[in-house]
Amino acid sequence: MNSNPITETMKCYSTNEEDFSHNDISEAIESLKEENDITPGKIIELWEGEGRKMPASYYVGDITDAMQDAACDDCGEYATDWDFSKEQQASLNAAVAKTVDQWATENNMHPHFYRVENVTALKVRITDDDGGYEILPEASA
């Protein structure tokens, strides 16, 4: 709904291609080391993605659709011709987005989670026992 929904982007990493819970590649490597026998020279696979935190308004649907559905549920076929122009929809949706984001800011309710996009697999060679690593080029992977 929000025309400019992205509030923050950051790199994030996963050890299983599903849970992108690490904000630093070193954290992801350490997490793997805790669960597996990883020694220098071993090649591991990690996934890097772009985390995008969205504002609260991003998760509000088209308000005019919700209004039309509620009107039809309440009044049946008599409400089916209650239509909004594209300009009216855009105007109302923008006003709702602004209000929701203002409320979320005042109440510290913007989402703290993020969606992950642009995921790529990384092959990483562990170089020492002290957290050293080397990201291998794709041709070597």
Instruction: Tell me the residue type at 46.
Output: L
Note the pTM of the prediction, 2 decimals: 0.70
**H helical segments located in 1-141:** 25-35, 63-75, 86-106
Closest of 64, 70, 66 to residue 89, by C-alpha: 64
In the prediction, which pLDDT does 130 show? 86
Q: Give average pLDDT by consecutive 10-residue segment, the chain, 141 residues.
A: 62 95 93 88 95 93 91 94 93 96 95 93 92 81 46
In the prediction, which pLDDT does 37 show? 84
Do 91 and 52 meet the contact criterion of CB atoms below 8 Å apart? no
> What is the token pair recorded at 72?
């039809």
